[in-house]
Chains A and B, each alone.
Chain A
Amino acid sequence: MTPAIHFSLVDHTIDCPSLAAALADPAAGAVVTFDGRVRDHNDGRLVSHLEYQAYPALVVSTGQKILEEECARHGILRARAAHRTGALAIGEVAVWLGVASAHRGPAFDAARVIMERLKYELPIWKKETYADGHTEWVGPDNHSADTGFPREVVPEWKATLLEIWISEGNNFRGRHEQASLTHEIRSVPQVECIAGMGLRGDRYFGYKENFKGQVTFFDEDAVQAVRDYSQKPDLSSSVFRRNLIVRGVELGAWIGKRFRFQGLEFEGSEECKPCYWMDQVAAPGAEEFLKSNFRGGLRARILTSGVLRVGQ
């Protein structure tokens, strides 16, 4: 004899037809069912797949309790619900609910309230993977995963990363009145950003706690302007010793602001002030030139870890 009301947690494809068949009841004039499926977008970002994690014992007891309470409240004759765990692709069913009642009013009402409660009360956590490879734990109703409060929408830069420069050591910093060191600066096609630390392989990686210059951005327009100013059309963007040469964003507008770039989150901290070494490597007066119009670049902290790639 099958139970009238049953909640299950499964780690494989939910058998929707079988669950629906269990709702058959000669006294039921109305059967309402709901599929919760994996959507291809969230918060304006493309989702590639997702994963559900559960606390099994408590999910099953809570799910069963929710069904029994609401079925009693609404006069529901039979109910089935199932939630999946593990990895799911776009379009797959994550949660299924069906209720059977004599009349349609209670069936629709019960289905609605049960779904709301399942979403808020089941100890289940969703982790989304986006098209850009970035992953994130999602909070209730897409709120923040760590506080449960509404998430700020962090604006996304529509900029292109043209070059990445990293160097093992400082050539100029702290070397007043001395000749520069000769740490090579290397151009790389991609670089690993570690939140709170910097760019792996770069001299400022882990330099100090909460360092404002974990990464530096520099505008390609500024590179070109200095080339024109110093009449050196082939001047390499490496001479500025900024990490990331970008095009398409006004760097000065991002001081104190969070932003997303290639799926990673940063926070602009301050302008990157040029030093008098610029007069040597570019041309006399270059330092002053760079100080105007925010040409020195943007220092930023890294808030999420991941990889930045040239050309995107």
Chain B
Amino acid sequence: MNSYTVSYFGLLAERRGVSEEQLTSHAGTPSELYRDLDATHQLGLTIENFRVAVNDEFTEWSHLLETGDRIALLPPMSGG
């Protein structure tokens, strides 16, 4: 099991009810992590157009996670 810090933003943070949480998980990639979180909390959003960042850098959903990683789940953005 790994320890992760997960950050949520926008609509996703509202669905989850928090903007950040610490958790332990067997998930090895961000996509596995999202799948577990979606199943547990019924987030109801598909990640097709979402992006993900690990330790403050954009990365792939298949990125191999290590314990202590900070994962940010990013819904479609609307800055500017």
- Residues in chain A within 8 A of chain B (CB atoms): 36, 52-55, 57-59, 61-62, 83, 94-95, 115, 118-127, 137-149
A61-B57, A118-B80, A122-B80 are known contacts; what are 13 more A-B pairs with Cβ within 8 Å?
A36-B80, A55-B9, A55-B74, A57-B56, A58-B53, A95-B80, A118-B79, A121-B77, A140-B78, A143-B76, A145-B11, A147-B45, A149-B49
- Asked whether B49 lies within 8 Å of A148 as measured between CB atoms, the reply is yes
Q: A53-B9, A58-B56 are in contact. Are A147 and B78 (CB under 8 A)?
A: no
Choose from A122, A143, A144 the contact partner of B79 (Cβ within 8 Å). A122
- Asked whether A119 lies within 8 Å of B76 as measured between CB atoms, the reply is no
- Asked whether A124 lies within 8 Å of B53 as measured between CB atoms, the reply is no
Q: Which 9 A-B pairs have the closest CB atoms?
A: A124-B79, A148-B49, A119-B80, A148-B76, A125-B10, A122-B79, A126-B78, A137-B11, A139-B76
The smallest C-beta distance from A58 to any residue of chain B, in angstroms, reads 5
Q: A58-B58, A83-B79, A149-B49 are in contact. Are A137 and B14 (CB under 8 A)?
A: yes
Query: What is the CA–CA distance of A61 and B58 in the complex, to the nearest angstrom?
Result: 10
- Asked whether A55 lies within 8 Å of B53 as measured between CB atoms, the reply is yes
Contact residues in B for A118 (Cβ distance below 8 Å):
79-80
B75 proximal to A (CB < 8 A): yes
How many residue pairs between the two chains, A and B, have CB atoms under 8 Å in the bound complex? 93
Contact residues in B for A125 (Cβ distance below 8 Å):
9-11, 75, 77-79
Q: How large is the interface on B (under 10, 10 to 19, 20 to 34, 35 or more residues)?
A: 20 to 34
Query: What is the CA–CA distance of A71 and B57 in the complex, to the nearest angstrom?
Result: 22
Contact residues in B for A147 (Cβ distance below 8 Å):
45-46, 48-49, 76
Q: A58-B58, A95-B80, A122-B80 are in contact. Are A145 and B74 (CB under 8 A)?
A: no
B7 proximal to A (CB < 8 A): yes
> Using an 8 Å CB-CB cutoff, how does the interface string of B13-53 with A read, 1 for contact, 0 for none?
11000000000000000000000000000000110110101
Contact residues in B for A141 (Cβ distance below 8 Å):
78
Contact residues in B for A145 (Cβ distance below 8 Å):
10-11, 75-76, 78
B6 proximal to A (CB < 8 A): no
Query: What is the CA–CA distance of A310 and B16 in the complex, to the nearest angstrom?
Result: 33
- Give me 7 A-to-B residue pairs in the complex whose CB atoms sit less than 8 angstroms apart, sorted by A's number: A36-B80, A52-B79, A54-B79, A55-B74, A58-B56, A62-B58, A138-B78
- Asked whether A126 lies within 8 Å of B79 as measured between CB atoms, the reply is yes
Contact residues in B for A58 (Cβ distance below 8 Å):
53, 56-58, 72
Contact residues in B for A52 (Cβ distance below 8 Å):
79
Contact residues in A for B11 (Cβ distance below 8 Å):
125, 137, 145-146
Query: What is the CA–CA distance of A61 and B56 in the complex, to the nearest angstrom?
Result: 9
